[in-house]
Amino acid sequence: MLKVTLLGATNPPTAVRLNDRDVLAVQVVKRGTANTLEVVDRVEREVAQLRSKFADVRIELAATQATYIREATAATIEALVLAVLLSTVVIYLFLGNWQATAISALAIPTSLLGT
């Protein structure tokens, strides 16, 4: 599901700094077929376990794509809901009939799910 590599492990070694401090960095690169959110969730669980085992070591996730993906998904769903609502209003203005509008309004999300 994922491959873990140590940054700076190649020759010559790479200096890794975070907040102006030298750190040991581990980069998690998911496979092409893996789900990014599942990988991030799994890494977060593993980091939580490591934090409990090594209380004197500060372990941080420097960056993940999960926040961006979750926000983009929420924005897309919000835009789709708004589009369906506006389409329903426009259809009603043209048809002037709530029954025909309801049928058309139900067809819109159904057609979007099919594509």
Residue 13 has a pLDDT of 57
Residue 71 has a pLDDT of 95
Residue 1 has a pLDDT of 47
pLDDT of 25 over the 70 cut: yes
Q: Which helix (H) or strand (E) holds 17?
A: strand 17-18
Q: What is the dihedral of CA 74, 79, 85, 86, to 10 degrees?
A: 170
Residue 7 has a pLDDT of 58
4 compared with 28, residue with greater pLDDT:
28
pLDDT digits (tens, 9 = 90+) for 64-110: 888 899 999 999 999 988 988 898 899 999 988 999 898 888 887 78
